[in-house]
A and B are shown apart, each in its own frame.
Chain A
Amino acid sequence: MKRRIRIAVPSKGRLKQPSVQLLQNAGLSILEEERTYVCATSDPRFEIVFARVFDVPAYVQYGAVDLGITGHDLVLEREAEVHELLDLGFGKCQLVVAVPEGSDINSIDAIPASSRVVTEYPNLAKKYFERLGKQVEVLEVAGTTELAPQLGLAKVIVDLTSSGETMRKNNLKIVGTVLDSTCRLTCNKISYRTFEREINELVHSLRQVGS
């Protein structure tokens, strides 16, 4: 019955390197990353697949993988029913509402009703504005949200920022925060039941090297 426990790790972007490093510090080095879809690790109980960070919450919820490293923001955006076993500490970022520097909008309240909001996070954006009682039109894009104001697509965006650098570079100012996020170790609920001992051991080592 027992098989290898499968962990999804971000395949690229700012979360990949710290994820790989943290797993390595916890005693899980990735063997032969090149050319393989599923990578063996130095601990024979675990194997790793690289996946798009946006897809990880669904992979975990549906049990395609047992564990997955992904952002708290994405778990909420995907409404994934998963355990968030551990806050990995890195990948700190904020989901913010931003407008062009020169805009006369200086707060959330000043955003006109039925404004168009461009975002990669339609679910969270909709909920955020609904909670504020503000009617907006949310338009989903698959990337480079920060370009939308320059292209005249929208005057308001909801996007992720970690240092504020990209925002400044694109002449955007932040007028509100939707949520704070960090990277999490997520777990399929049924996998947790099946592999509780092994998973708790991994969480324990990650906790030790993380702190």
Chain B
Amino acid sequence: MFKFQDFDGKMLALRTEMTTPIARIVSAKMASCPEPIRLSYVTNVFRHGQSYVGSGREFCQAGAELIGCDSSETDGEILSLIVSCLRKLGLSDVRVDMGHADLLKDLLNATGLGEEGQVTLRGLLADRDNEKLKKFLDGINVQPDLSEIFLQLSRCRKLGELSSLPFNSSEYGRPENHVSNLLKTRDALIDYGVEGSVFFDFSLTRKIEYYTGMVFEASVPNTGLPLGGGGRYNDLIERFGCLKLPATGFALQIDNCLEALEAQGLQFAEKTRSTVLVTSSFRKVAIEAARPLREAGFSTSIDLQKADEKKTIDYAELSGMDYVVFVGASVVEPIRVYDVNSDTFRNTTLAAFSQQNGGRFR
């Protein structure tokens, strides 16, 4: 986190993500808003990159939060929203992999391991080395049925498969409850028509500090980094005051989404508007000519150099402009237009040129 001191000595920090600031705002300023509250944002966040890779510190995120409901239906809405956002961007083969923070925490506690042992077990789950996981579980003498629950969860990929977990003893009441919530979320996903894109991944074990329920990550094949993720955080808002509200949400990493679009072959248009340089020996005429061009949607600049024709054209070309409009003593007279891209001149009128080449987008 980037921290520094304000002039009055107070500590300031740049936000590393948006969920925590939103929790604070909801607690401090939105107590009287009717629930559920649906919020969204597109903003920049600031983080130290990892020590060896990537030097970027500022990232753009777009996200959504649904605050005030604790139902599986709410989780379903958020999951279906992240899928449809990514599809709307033009991405195909979008998938979401979800785990459950409290399910993991409760099962880890059920093993009776201390903190260090739990870290090791989480690491093994994250590594996806099931043989090592089995060996470790055998070595610590957990109940055979608990060991089997861990191994089955580690192998499980479809939410539907969760229904066959061997919760034989009442000891696992809370975990069983979490699993039944995941199955209810699956039912909501079926109604949203996105169940086929959502998978179970028990190895999603990192960065779950404030998550209490489902946690998830969105990705597409051939892009090595997740496009975004989120989860349920029912205890976060109350940390900022007395308001206790359950909440769920996600954030998309815009840079990663752009990379994914490129990997899937989408070409980005460099610009969407034509650019024009207006030049005239008469300042007032240049200003008058620029006005209708701007209204027609051109990105318009007025020539300030008053150089000869060749230099003006050179300037337009080097600046990446599309047209140079030469206007004489009046805007109603015919004008000459130089087309930078085709290297040609033509005679026309301002009105005709705006109509032919204006329009909002090329």
Contacts and interface: CB of A to CB of B under 8 A. Distances in A.
Interface of A: 1, 3, 58, 61-64, 78-79, 81, 83-87, 123, 187-194, 196, 207
Interface of B: 50-53, 93, 95, 97, 126-129, 131-132, 157, 199, 201, 203, 206, 219-226
A81 B205 CA distance: 11
Given A62-B53, A191-B224, A193-B95, A83 B206 contact: no
A125 to B, nearest CB: 12
Which of B129, B203, B206 has the most chain A CB within a 10 Å cutoff?
B129
A190 B95 CA distance: 10
B264 to A, nearest CB: 10
Contact of A79 (B51, B221, B222): B51
Given A62-B53, A123-B51, A193-B199, A83 B223 contact: no
B206 A81 contact: yes
Given A86-B129, A190-B225, A58 B93 contact: no
Contacts of A1: 93, 221
B224 A61 contact: yes
Contact of B219 (A83, A86, A187, A193): A193
27 contacts: A1-B93, A3-B222, A61-B53, A62-B225, A63-B222, A63-B223, A63-B224, A63-B225, A79-B50, A79-B52, A81-B206, A84-B127, A85-B127, A86-B129, A123-B51, A187-B128, A188-B224, A189-B226, A190-B220, A190-B223, A190-B225, A190-B226, A193-B95, A193-B219, A194-B221, A194-B222, A196-B157
Which of A63, A78, A87, A123 has the most chain B CB within a 10 Å cutoff?
A63
A72 to B, nearest CB: 10
Contacts of B225: 61-63, 190
A189 B224 CA distance: 8
Nearest to A60: B224
A204 to B, nearest CB: 10
Contacts of A64: 224
Given A61-B224, A191-B224, A193-B199, A84 B129 contact: yes
Contacts of B223: 63, 190
A188 B226 CA distance: 11
A189 B221 CA distance: 10
A58 B52 CA distance: 8
Contacts of B201: 193
A83 B127 CA distance: 4
A124 to B, nearest CB: 11
Nearest to A75: B127
Contacts of A187: 128
A83 B131 contact: no
A58 B221 contact: no
A3 to B, nearest CB: 7
A78 B157 CA distance: 29
Contact of B224 (A85, A123, A190, A196): A190
A85 B128 contact: yes
A190 B128 CA distance: 13
B132 A190 contact: no
Nearest to B126: A83
A1 B93 CA distance: 9
Contacts of B157: 196
